[in-house]
Structure 1
Amino acid sequence: MQSYADVEELAARARTLAATGSRRVLGVAGPPGAGKSTLAGALVRALDGLAVLVPMDGFHLADAELARLGRADRKGAPDTFDAHGYAALLARLRAPRPGETVYAPSFERDLEQPLAGALPVEPDVPLVVTEGNYLLLDEEPWSTRVRPLLDEVWWVSVDDALRVERLTARHVAFGKSPSAARDWVLRSDEANARRVAPGRERADLVVDLPLLGRRPGA
């Protein structure tokens, strides 16, 4: 398993997936705050029309449903997502039909809610990039329904202290007080980070995100 790749290498590898002649799906996994969306977005931009981004976060359960289930205080945990719905979308994306646009959900951070039908995926786009915490989670249904639908999964690695700092700043930016943000990160986000950590060993590639754009030894 390769443990380092720079931007050009990553883009070239993704472009190779996109050039196979049929729709491919590339997963980007890692703990909360690692920079999965940053990497996924950079790849899609680098491929310039050959790829589209469909985040797993669009399958967050709505706050009202989390409250009904008694899971609101664990928002972001594996059972606060519609994993089966996500798998169904991935299966549909793997088999595009001529002339049929697939509309995927996004996650609106200003609202902290999923937004249905926000991301159009045209049938002639050869690569779908999807990112999320649980793509390599060795638990049902992630391991049996989601992972088999991904051609490759890359793991984003970053210093834990930097992750916590990023996550805390993100929660503050979206309305939490600094103390409430740090409490949430240390109680909820870090519990999820520990849960997904073994997935690193199952990844096809490990990307050290702070080193992106630098050559080894730079």
Structure 2
Amino acid sequence: MSGQDVQDASFDELVAWASALAVPGQRRILGLTGAPGAGKSTVAAELVAALGSDLAVLVPMDGFHLANEVLIDLGRRDRKGAHDTFDDDGYARLIETLRAQTTDAPLVYAPRFDRDLEESIGSAVPVRGDVPLVVTEGNYLLLDVDAWPRARRHVDEVWFLAPDTDIRHERLLRRHLSYGKTPQEASFWTLGSDERNAELITSTAVHADRVLRLR
């Protein structure tokens, strides 16, 4: 990847690095980013499962998708997933709140995205103050426009996942097909909107703490 070395790593190494961030009595935030199809949501969920619910909780960025009716009003429904189709300010405010949450503070509730409904569901992810590590994942954690840098300032480390492009495309095609799209529609989204977003996201990898290819 231009401008940044790609580090081959095993999942066990990722668990060890994340475990080092999960210090009881402290609040740390780990971000996973990468282009569409990079495996962010899968790796993040597996990391949290490996660490256990007393050490880590998953708060995805995708919970801040703007509602479809809002995207239609804005004329952006056909490119859902682009950086300006999210409530970036809401995401930044949540990350700020989670970073400041103390061990004895009340629960904070985060939204999550329901892929069956294609809509976000508010107050769906409870975050306890005594859980030391919040893992967040999403496409635009390193983007330097709008409110995204505000969120980044409160994230301790951001890892950029960089699988081979063919692997990403294959994952995206399977994903779109699983959502009921025709093969032609799946290819249109994978090589169209998804790939345009991928080019922008990949340009942000130079700002990551680690650029990783899982082996």
3-state secondary structure, aligned to 2:126:
strand
Identical amino acids, percent of aligned pairs: 55
3-state secondary structure, aligned to 2:211:
strand
> Residue 77 of structure 1 aligns with which residue?
82
Q: Does 1:39 align with 2:43?
A: yes
Rounded to whole Å, the distance in 1 between the matches of 2:197 and 2:45 is: 23
Q: CA deviation at 1:45?
A: 1.0
Q: CA deviation at 1:62?
A: 0.4
Q: Does 1:116 align with 2:143?
A: no
Q: Does 1:134 align with 2:140?
A: yes
Aligned length: 209
Q: CA deviation at 1:60?
A: 0.2
Aligned mate of 1:104, from 104, 110, 125:
110
Is 1:2–1:204's contact at 8 Å kept on the other side of the alignment? no
Structure 1, unpaired ranges of 5+: 212-218
Detail structure 1 runs of 4+ shifted over 3 Å in the superposition: none
Rounded to whole Å, the distance in 2 between the matches of 1:92 and 1:109 is: 26
Rounded to whole Å, the distance in 1 between the matches of 2:86 and 2:99 is: 21
Q: Does 1:19 align with 2:23?
A: yes
3-state secondary structure, aligned to 2:145:
coil
Q: CA deviation at 1:123?
A: 1.1
Q: Which moved more, 1:89-98 or 1:73-82?
A: 89-98
> Residue 5 of structure 1 aligns with which residue?
9
3-state secondary structure, aligned to 2:203:
helix
Structure 2, unpaired ranges of 5+: none
Q: Does 1:52 align with 2:66?
A: no
Rounded to whole Å, the distance in 2 between the matches of 1:184 and 1:2 is: 27
3-state secondary structure, aligned to 1:103:
strand
Q: CA deviation at 1:133?
A: 0.5
Aligned mate of 2:210, from 199, 202, 205:
205
RMSD: 1.3
CA offsets, 1:19-46, max 9 Å, x none?
A: 1741010000000010001111111011
3-state secondary structure, aligned to 1:4:
strand
3-state secondary structure, aligned to 1:149:
coil
